[in-house]
């Protein structure tokens, strides 16, 4: 396709925005696909009684503006040099917006469980039909449940809302002044027939099963199509060219795949951010619902990305650092500025196996491949000699073991045996995590540079491809490697044994977690 931005600046640079669960990141990428600068801010999660977890989209917007200006300044560019704006985000998070993209209420993020008590789509007899037509099954934690909750318990927000959208579409709408979405970004709304790639209409059948109002959904545009020109107010907010083009916004699993080079089934990427996500691209719609795996339409023409949400990743380390090592509760010491570096250095001094300690990373439930949403995390096999250093190492190992459990199921659905995994996201900043993953997988792990801007970089690369500045075949060559980690045979043998125990504990403990965490047990 021809770039609409090419008339704005001769060689447009990209401002890429990544809205994660716990933070906003912004990167500046040059026309050749290289990262010039990046910055970010932490976002607030609002925990609400009854299982609610929200965020304020106005906080997203303010943080994006500050980060954009800092990143542009750090890159040495000027506002006129920014010709493209790319947006990617977390998903299964629902944002109520007005027609111009401004929020009418808080976003209900993917952890919010309140929709289960109102979700009209939880009908076991329709499971196979959901999978056949869409590729996923309503859970209550999805957008259907979120919208049902707002409709039932926040009627004033529901009435004021022009459309319920995902975060990337909310930001793209606020940037352009009009709200649109694609088949790909609306995947969590379970409203589009995904048997054919490129659909631009909602499915009457799926809307009927979910009892979703068509009038509360955004207009669908083709995947890969630009969303429009940035408004003057948005351009001033970001400090960019007032003729910059907002490109096709995307789900962050797609940009994770782009940012790790997993552009076809021969390559596997792993992102350790707040969560751990394994990614690749396939040429057809497939699923393995027993292990929580399915595919969703990608922005790459005719392609589907393999949806493999492994569960909590870097957030496990965050919880350990802030709740156990440096808690702000009057019982600990204040966290130093290098708290994470200290904890990871301490963990590296502990031998593989964490002196017998194991960490279970299912802090918000087990996702792929175990998919037991009532399971929870913790340390097991604690002894009299267990130390916080052992715990630090066990946290890293627990996340890695969970990914190692996923890899064979992921490979089977992809139809490819992987001999290397590319690692991106904040976790890729840790050599210990890179080596531990290689030892758990038993294959080399390529730890990428620019780890904190993996998704933003992927979004920018996709924007440059959509505007004919680079080719899809260029992507892997544009990803710099920080370090290639070769597996240690002895450590791999140890982790294979531990992974067996890890899976066994997950399955045997499920009845205990079901009893403890069922809605009935949580009532007063």
For residue 89, being part of any structural domain is answered with yes
pLDDT band for position 117 (50/70/90)?
Answer: confident
Is the Cα torsion angle 439, 440, 443, 448 positive or negative in sign?
negative
Cα separations in angstroms, 483 against 341, 348, 447, 492? 18, 17, 5, 19
Residue 387, pLDDT > 80, answer yes
Residue 368 lies in a domain: yes
Computed over every residue of the chain, the mean pLDDT equals: 93
H/E element, 88:
strand 82-89
From CA 506, how far away is CA 374, in angstroms rounded? 11
Sign of CA dihedral 502, 503, 504, 505: positive
Q: In terms of domains, do 186 and 147 share one?
A: yes
C-alpha–C-alpha distance, residues 22 and 16, integer Å = 17
Residues 159 and 196 in one domain: yes
Extract the tokens encoding 128.
């196979």
Whether residue 472 is found in the same domain as residue 504: no
What global pTM score does this model have?
0.90
pLDDT at 190 over 50: yes
Give the number of domains in the chain. Answer: 2
pLDDT tens-place string over residues 364-386: 999 999 989 899 999 999 999 99
Q: Give yes or no: residues 366 and 325 share one domain.
A: yes
Residues 476 and 362 in one domain: no
Q: Which domain holds residue 223?
A: 4-252+450-481
Q: In whole angstroms, give the CA distance from residue 481 to residue 422.
A: 9
Distance CA 120, CA 124 (A): 12
Percent of the chain past pLDDT 90, that is, above it, reads 88
Q: Verify that 56 and 153 share a domain, yes or no.
A: yes
Q: Please indicate, yes or no, whether residues 241 and 326 belong to a single structural domain of this protein.
A: no
In which element (H, E) is residue 13 found? strand 13-19
Q: Does residue 197 share a domain with residue 62?
A: yes
Name which of 245, 172, 232, 247 is nearest 6 in CA terms. 245
Tell me whether residue 522 is in a domain: no
d(CA 384, CA 26): 45
**Any idea what DSSP says for residue 507?**
H
pLDDT at 523: 42
> Does 440 fall in a domain?
no
Strand, coil or helix: what is 383?
Answer: coil
> How far is it, in rounded angstroms, from Cα 104 to Cα 156?
9
Q: Is residue 123 domain-shared with residue 25, that is, in the same domain? A: yes
Q: Are 8 and 109 members of one domain? A: yes
Is residue 287, in this structure, part of any structural domain at all? no
Position 233 pLDDT exceeds 50: yes
Residue 180 confidence class, pLDDT cut points 50, 70, 90: very high
> Is residue 262 domain-resident?
no
Rounded to whole angstroms, how far apart are CA atoms 483 and 36?
20
Residues 181 and 226 in one domain: yes
Q: Is residue 9 part of a domain?
A: yes
Whether 203 shows a pLDDT value over 70: the answer reads yes
69 and 96, same domain (yes or no)? yes
For residues 487 and 289, the answer to whether their CB atoms sit within 8 Å is no
Residues 6+ apart with CB under 8 A from 25: 17, 18, 38, 39, 40, 67, 452, 453, 455, 456
CATH of the domain at 81: 3.30.420.40
Handedness of CA 467, 469, 471, 476 (dihedral sign): negative
The answer to whether residue 143 sits within a structural domain is yes
The answer to whether 16 and 38 are in contact (CB under 8 A) is no
């Amino acid at each position: 396709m021809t770039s609409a931005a090419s008339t704005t600046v001769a060689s447009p640079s990209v401002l890429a925005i990544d809205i994660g669960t716990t933070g906003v990141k912004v990167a500046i990428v040059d026309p050749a696909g290289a990262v010039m600068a990046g910055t970010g801010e932490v976002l607030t999660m609002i925990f609400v009684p009854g299982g609610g977890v929200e965020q304020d989209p106005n906080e997203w917007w303010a943080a994006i503006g500050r980060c954009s200006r800092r990143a542009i300044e750090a890159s040495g560019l000027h506002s006129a040099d920014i010709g493209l704006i790319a947006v990617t985000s977390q998903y299964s998070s629902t944002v109520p917006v007005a027609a111009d993209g401004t929020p009418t209420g808080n976003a209900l993020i993917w952890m919010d469980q309140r929709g289960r008590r109102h979700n009209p789509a939880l009908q076991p007899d329709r499971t196979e039909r959901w999978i056949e037509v869409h590729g996923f099954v309503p859970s209550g934690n999805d957008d259907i449940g979120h919208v049902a909750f707002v409709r039932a318990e926040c009627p004033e927000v529901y009435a004021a809302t022009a459309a319920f959208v995902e975060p990337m579409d909310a930001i793209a709408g606020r940037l352009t002044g009009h709200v649109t979405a694609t088949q790909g970004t609306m995947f969590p709304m379970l409203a589009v027939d995904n048997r054919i790639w490129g659909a631009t209409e909602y499915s009457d059948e799926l809307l009927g099963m979910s009892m979703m109002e068509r009038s509360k959904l955004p207009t669908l545009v083709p995947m890969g199509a630009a969303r429009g020109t940035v408004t003057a107010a948005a351009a001033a907010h970001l400090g960019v060219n007032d003729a910059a083009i907002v490109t096709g916004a995307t789900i962050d699993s797609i940009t994770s795949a782009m940012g790790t080079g997993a552009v076809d089934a021969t390559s596997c990427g792993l992102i350790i951010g707040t969560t751990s996500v394994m990614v690749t691209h396939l040429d057809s719609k497939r699923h393995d619902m027993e292990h929580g795996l399915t595919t969703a339409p990608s922005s790459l023409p005719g392609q589907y990305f393999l949806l493999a949400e492994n569960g909590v990743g870097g957030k496990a380390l965050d919880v350990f650092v802030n709740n156990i090592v440096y808690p702000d509760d009057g019982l600990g010491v204040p966290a130093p500025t290098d708290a994470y570096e200290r904890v990871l250095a301490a963990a590296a001094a502990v031998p593989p196996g964490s002196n017998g300690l194991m960490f279970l990373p299912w802090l918000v439930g087990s996702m792929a491949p175990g998919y037991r949403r009532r399971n929870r995390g913790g340390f097991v096999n604690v002894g009299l000699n267990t130390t916080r250093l052992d715990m630090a190492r066990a946290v890293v190992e627990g996340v890695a073991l969970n990914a190692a459990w996923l890899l064979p199921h992921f490979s089977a659905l992809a139809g490819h045996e992987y001999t290397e995994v590319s690692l991106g996201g904040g976790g890729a900043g840790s050599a210990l995590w890179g080596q531990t993953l290689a030892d758990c997988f038993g294959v080399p792990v390529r730890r990428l540079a620019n780890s904190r801007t993996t998704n933003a970089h992927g979004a920018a690369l996709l924007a440059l491809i959509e505007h004919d500045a680079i080719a899809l075949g260029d992507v892997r060559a544009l990803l710099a490697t920080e370090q290639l980690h070769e597996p240690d045979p002895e450590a791999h043998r140890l982790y294979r044994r531990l992974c067996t125990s890890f899976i066994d504990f997950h399955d045997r403990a499920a009845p205990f977690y079901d009893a403890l965490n069922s809605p009935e047990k949580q009532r007063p």
